[in-house]
Amino acid sequence: MRKILIIAAALLCTSLITGCAMLNNRRQEPAQYIPPAMADEQNIPAKTVITYARGMDETEAALKIIEEFNRQSDSVTVKYQELPYDEGERYNQIKRWLSSGDSSIDIFDVNMTWCAEFAQNGYARTLDSYARENNINLENYNHAVVNGCRYDGALWAMPRIIYTGLFFYRRDIVDTPPAHWDDFISSAKWYNGENDTKYGYVFSGKVTQNLVNEAMEFIYSYGGKIIDDDGNIAVNSPESINGLNKFYEIYNGGFVPDTEYKMTEIDACISFLNGESVYMRNVPSAWSVLNTREDSKVVGKFAIAPLPAGSAGSFSVLSGYVSVINAKSANPDAAWEFIEYISGYEGQKMLSVISGRIPAMTAVLADAEVIEANPHFDSDIFRETLDTAVPNIITPHHKVITGVMQDELYLFLTGKKDASAALTSMEAKIRALLA
């Protein structure tokens, strides 16, 4: 039986606030960063200027990494264009740029599930020659994210960040976290309201990609699949029905917020931080937010565990963010120089220490300074979760598949369809769209 990690009391007050955009004082508009030397045209250094775009970063990590790279590089200066926080908006904006042939942004950080689509459509530049010429050993990175960077035998991106599902529980309320979903349901109902909590469970229930990932975790934990080993759509099965029915039982179990269908990862984290829930499903970097926010009511009162298991075991979906070079970039060599830095040891270490995000480079997880900033990285549960996580589906049709899944999951979870009807419709629509 897996050991359950008891989270250490609290990080030092000087610990850096982190991530996954969990803060409730989010900026409303993305920011731009122009290096100081570029403010006065007379002082522009004789460097190649490139622009890097990524999603809104609530921490200082993105800017600090760019500033350090600009300080070190003799040939490249990086400007920063921050994109919307909402992943759907960000995908649409990036796709508009790339499909129109816009060359104003050289590098994009994208969800690894978008990489195959962008590669197939000719939006990204292959990186094999750069990796080969610079002796990049991809064995040093999480294999699932590396696979997400590949399409049709070529490398189209470099790994940066990992995220996956993790189970948080109030150890001042629960002695031992439930090992199975049935036990979890009983426990969440029993402890709902204990120690001034309002809910038994919070998670990202809004109809987004996160909801699809969570549904996939239930499908997998009861033996179902989304795509079979031959690449065929196989979501409609008795095992998938069992998984979704368990998800419905939780979603409508009376121990989650009435507004769960509106709740994002941020909302779930803030609710748990405020002491409102006994259990939470969230990404691992929520750990640091819960321990470093001055207003956190759960410092030293929670721990992490694997997600509860179904009849086929416990499964967490692993995804990540990767860096691609715009196929229309006029400065691909300069863009690669920056990508090599942010995906290398120094850039990965800064990312993790400052933001608490999980670096894609495996060795960085064992770095002493990284562990000091993120003690939960040094736990058996954390390592086992990464080792056993199921990679997100990698296909050029990811957005098509998950778009259909979102629509059918909404109808199912709100009681407008049963699991069998939702999965039958889901599979039929996906097959029709891919025909």
pLDDT tier for residue 4 given thresholds of 50, 70 and 90: very low
Domain spans of the chain? 32-163+320-391, 164-317+393-434
Task: Round to whole Å and give the CA distance between 258 and 29.
Answer: 29
Q: Determine the 3-state secondary structure of 319 from DSSP.
A: strand
pLDDT higher than threshold 60 for residue 18: no
pLDDT band at 14 (very low <50, low <70, confident <90, very high): very low
Q: Percent helix, strand, coil in the chain (nearest 5)? A: 45, 20, 40
**Mean pLDDT value of segment 304-310:** 95
H helix intervals, 192-331: 209-221, 238-251, 265-273, 286-292
Selected residue with higher pLDDT from 289 and 280: 280
* Residue 219: Cβ-neighbour burial (10 angstroms; 0-12, 13-18, 19+): buried
Residue 280 in tokens: 């939470």
- The structure's pTM equals 0.84
Identify the weakest region by mean pLDDT among 174-188, 201-215, 320-334: 201-215
Confidence of residue 258 (pLDDT cuts 50, 70, 90): confident
Q: How far is the C-alpha of 188 from the C-alpha of 177, rounded, in Å?
A: 10
pLDDT of res. 13 = 31
Please determine whether the domains at 32-163+320-391 and 164-317+393-434 fall in the same fold group of CATH. Answer: yes
What CATH architecture does domain 32-163+320-391 belong to? 3-Layer(aba) Sandwich (3.40)
Distances (CA, A) of 430 to 89, 141, 403, 408, 423: 22, 32, 9, 11, 10
**164-317+393-434 placed in CATH 3.90.170.10:** no
Asked whether 381 and 303 are in contact (CB, 8 A), the reply is no
